[in-house]
Structure 1
């Protein structure tokens, strides 16, 4: 296994496919697990040791170093035993509750997902349940899974730390109602990992892709959405989160309530109608006021956009229809367009409407501007 790829995994900078490759390697043998744990420890200790070689590190030092780690890559070719500082490693584990152990468990759950064409619910005993396009998955007060208010999956003895995963392939969408009553709308090409039973002090889920959350308010337990890029904390609110690893893009938009997250300037709180975007490869982030309907219309089967680059609109359509759209002249992809598309139409009908928005007097019989290809792929 390439050490650089393992470091990318530790830094949360790898793609989902790369993460799955690392996880498969880790699970292959106890020796690989030991090597991975050593690299985690060395990575943490080298970063901390670079600020204080005596091993005496306080909390502020660790916070600053972790910010540096998020922006900087260290290459580890060999195990550097002398750099391991036990006190520093303990601080690393205690002060940062969502670090590699939690990430490892979440990514491990996602790694079990293979290429599928149907919405799939994987429960903690690894049992897979295929769902229809219109399925609503809910949990009743007894902890049983109820599908479309009719089909009940019997409750089995499960550990509180067990995780369930719902996977939504491209071209489909799904709805999940968690045990606390919170509702999650999952967009095409997305997965959500969540515990069988929420912890007493928090409600935490892990998102890969895009989802709209309607969180039930609980004053004693925050609701936390973890992603490969950033985490969002809430008490009770409605918001949309999108993580696009191929574009190195993290987006969040708030409809009601408040949400908090870490920005380049420190922790910030979004108020209704605010939109936050973070580009992980450049490190740039931005907070601005928007029309939230442009970002959540997908849950109603529509796509609204206001002066969006055509390239971004096309990417959303590719996910929604599980297709690949190729333009013969790439100049059009830079155009800014505004409009409203009904995703209940076929891909061809939707593209016809889009082209008429883009080009006045567009004639599909005479103007061949693009090609639609079927695309069978996973997240």
Structure 2
């Protein structure tokens, strides 16, 4: 039986206990429209045989096992239902803490209180601007606020972004008498639980993730545009005759009009995801360029001083820029690290084995932390205790 996407979302919300009263009435109306709807809903809600059959297949523990199981027993696409519900995590193919199954409303919630975690809000737009003389300004304004970035230039801070006045490089092709250019640099930094955006004078926009630093000139020179990055940022480069360079500790990304994500959070590695356009990568202390194509992921490794290129689905690597947190077969340890930085919390485990559980999921980056913690607790039968901004994950 084919189910409309809106109904799929309602079913998923019901199964994970996050359905509102209004949505519950909508679901009840759908169930009442036909005996087939009621039968299907009850089967998804209560089917222990569904769970047992999947557990039998997971003993084989392979991708083909799940595909075979889904094809043979799933009359409705359960994975489609759950993945379309944006604010949850689901277990992927590899399950180390038991089989695939659903919890109903009678199962334990987070610390037996469904409201816990709702008070933990996501990160906010906030940054520190460091001027050439090391003067610092905190940037949090919602309404347009002038920011003096050097003796002659005033930028505007508003709605989580710092916008420099536009000064297009119109004289780039006109021969001029050589004169030394004065380069005044600004530095923009974010901390844990923060993000921010900046628009440079050439029109290039950059979205900074948490714990990120970008250093750049107030005005680019006539031959090139160059910035220095630590952390993670998503770039939309304005078209210009001058090449744009992003310098990291591992190498240099050179572009010719494009969109890409740069991530240096992993020690000793720069990760570059090219969304569209054209870029090349230059290793430190080298002049040779390695071109990568849209849809490719490049790893610039400090150890061995080499570049690895992969053809991948870039969605999980750039989702944060679009307000999503998407995980594909990631360990709970890795997911927790991201949640700690974005929600500014401390998360610990009762045993190290729990860190190796693997998940696939899709959630709203700007929602509270509660839905994702509920999904982890219910899907794995783990207990999650919250006290202030301290979170403990334990095995029941």
User: Could you say whether these structures have the same fold, taking a TM-score greater than 0.5 normalized by the shorter chain as the test?
Assistant: yes
Aligned residue for 1:332, secondary structure, equals: helix
Q: Given the alignment, which residue of 239, 244, 249 partners 2:269?
A: 249
Aligned residue for 1:235, secondary structure, equals: strand
Asked if residue 300 in structure 1 is aligned to residue 308 in structure 2, the reply is no
Higher relative contact order (CA 8 A, sep 6+): 2
Partner of 1:126: 134
- Number of aligned pairs? 247
Q: What is the distance in 2 between the residues matched to 1:324 and 1:355? A: 17
C-alpha RMSD of the superposition: 3.7
8 Å contact from structure 2 (residues 162, 199) kept in 1: no
Deviations 1:270-309 (A, max 9, x none): 1111011244346675311122221111123321122223
Aligned residue for 1:345, secondary structure, equals: coil
Aligned residue for 1:231, secondary structure, equals: strand
- Whose helix proportion is higher, 1 or 2? 1
Q: 1:356 to 1:169 in 2, by over 3 A?
A: same
Partner of 1:146: 156
Deviations 1:84-122 (A, max 9, x none): xxxxxxxxxxxxxxxxxxxxxxxxxxxxxxxxx952112
Instruction: List runs of 5+ in structure 2 lacking aligned partners.
Output: 1-124, 166-180, 392-396
Partner of 1:269: 291
**Shift, 1:135, TM fit:** 8.2
Q: What is the distance in 2 between the residues matched to 1:257 and 1:189? A: 27
Q: What is the distance in 1 between the residues matched to 2:388 and 2:376? A: 13
- What is the TM-score of this pair, normalised by structure 1? 0.57
Deviations 1:58-84 (A, max 9, x none): xxxxxxxxxxxxxxxxxxxxxxxxxxx
Q: Given the alignment, which residue of 212, 218, 226 partners 2:247?
A: 226
**Shift, 1:143, TM fit:** 4.2
Instruction: List runs of 5+ in structure 1 lacking aligned partners.
Output: 1-116
8 Å contact from structure 1 (residues 305, 337) kept in 2: yes
Larger-gyration structure (1/2): 2
Q: What is the distance in 1 between the residues matched to 2:164 and 2:275? A: 33
**Shift, 1:126, TM fit:** 3.0
Q: 1:122 to 1:300 in 2, by over 3 A?
A: same
- What is the TM-score of this pair, normalised by structure 2? 0.55
Q: What is the distance in 2 between the residues matched to 1:172 and 1:274? A: 28
8 Å contact from structure 1 (residues 143, 179) kept in 2: no
Q: 1:185 to 1:151 in 2, by over 3 A?
A: closer
